[in-house]
A and B are shown apart, each in its own frame.
Chain A
Amino acid sequence: MRTDSGTTTPSHFVDREQQHDAAVLGMWVFLVTEVMLFGGLFTGYAVYRAAQPAAFAAASGGLDVTLGAINTCILISSSLSMALAARSARLGGIAALVRFLLVTMALGITFLAIKVIEYEHKWAQGLVPGLNFDFTGAHADAAELFYSFYFAMTGIHALHMIGGIGVLGVLTVFAARGRYARGDGTAIELAGLYWHFVDVVWIFLFPLLYLMGRHQ
């Protein structure tokens, strides 16, 4: 079953190309289910924001735009290094592949570290619904709702990041052992698709959570 070595093709595939296409299609199917998962969260956010626009805008002011923007740039950079890693895998450049995978993981861990700092700030500010929520101002209930969405959406996103970093860690070990030396890096490509998708989710989370109501 060492499909990435290219030495064997299971009998239910015609050739390696079909095997590769089936794997990529399967990954896209998985990503579509992920769209449904995050789509539900975005829908809920849209409904309550439409009901309480002023309160959501005010509550959004408690988030740190600078840290959010830095994290956006970090994730975009990690997508670049992930794309370059997949390219190296196709070209058979093992040293470059390992290097780009390590950069991608380091950027992902940096993202999570900044997220931890943000969560810590929210705790200190008393903006954690259910556990420590002490929002002083109008629309406290709606603000609590906003922060419930904030923690649910960024939390699930962070879980995806942790999972992605774990996958990349395993792939880095495989790569260092020379598994992708033949230029068949389907596994790297699939991990890349997942990583870019998590990036796309954050691209929508950032303006909706951090940037609403900044001009007020």
Chain B
Amino acid sequence: MNAHVGESRNYYVAFAALMALTATTVFVAYVDLGMASLPLALAIATAKATIVVVYFMHVRQGGPLIALFWLVGLAWALLLISLTLMDVASRDWLPAPKGWTRQHETAPRTAPAYAPHTTIETTGGGPFNVDEGTEMERNLGFRETTPPVREHTSTSSIRSQS
């Protein structure tokens, strides 16, 4: 891990490569590549990041301890992203439990995608089958004793106030 004095020429080569890759990613963004668009943009960004980390941050001169630390950091970041996306992507794979229904089958299309997917089915029986109540009551699965503040049920109605 000695203080490393590299050739300044390497820095200029890395700089030129980064500039060329920036031009490339802007150029291909205007080409219709369909599903390949995002992976290609991420691949170019990863290549640029690798150039910065290797040539500007001298990660290879850092020794095994630094390699261990940044690999652990990278692994945790990938876990964070991949497990979260796996969860979100696979939520609809299993049928909803009996007596439950999915949020997006009952809520209006403007409902935010992050809302819980399951909500208590209130139309199948119980005291609410006459009056289904407000959207918030249905989502919460119970009836509020005081009238709910309807303005707070979605972001769009918050905006319409202003």
Contact = CB atoms under 8 A, between A and B. Distances in A.
Do the two chains belong together in a single complex? yes
B38 interface: yes
B49 A79 contact: no
Interface residues of B, number: 59
A42 B81 contact: yes
B155 interface: yes
B88 interface: yes
Interface in B21-70: 22, 25-26, 29-33, 37-38, 41-42, 44-45, 48-49, 52-53, 55-57, 62-63, 65-66, 69-70
Q: Interface of chain A, helix or strand or loop or mixed?
A: helix
| Interface range, A side | 35 or more
B77 to A, nearest CB: 4
Given A51-B113, A145-B112, A207-B44, A133 B29 contact: no
B69 A29 contact: yes
Contacts of A206: 22, 25, 45
Contact of A36 (B22, B62, B73, B84): B73
B36 to A, nearest CB: 11
A84 B11 contact: yes
Interface string A14-34: 000100110011001101100
B156 interface: yes
Contacts of A40: 80
B73 A35 contact: yes
A185 B4 CA distance: 11
B19 A207 contact: no
Contacts of B123: none
A140 B158 CA distance: 13
The winner among B32, B76, B113 for most chain A CB atoms within 10 A is B113
A196 B70 contact: no
A73 B41 CA distance: 16
Nearest to A57: B37
Given A17-B1, A200-B52, A47 B85 contact: yes
A40 B79 CA distance: 11
Contacts of A185: 3
A28 B70 contact: yes
A28 B1 CA distance: 13
A197 B72 CA distance: 16
A79 B52 contact: yes
B45 A73 contact: no
Interface in A96-125: none
Contact of A196 (B52, B66, B74): B52
Contact of B41 (A35, A90, A207): A207
Nearest to A186: B3
A50 B88 CA distance: 9
Nearest to A72: B22
B70 A69 contact: no
Contact of A141 (B25, B76, B110): B110
A32 B69 contact: yes
A167 interface: no
A48 B56 contact: no
A215 B30 contact: yes
Interface of A: 17, 20-21, 24-25, 28-29, 31-32, 35-36, 39-40, 42-43, 46-48, 50-52, 65, 69, 72-73, 76-77, 79-80, 82-84, 87, 90-91, 133, 140-142, 144-145, 184-186, 189, 192-193, 196-197, 199-200, 203-204, 206-208, 211-212, 214-216
Given A145-B112, A215-B29, 8 more contacts: A36-B76, A73-B19, A82-B56, A196-B53, A203-B49, A215-B30, A215-B31, A215-B33
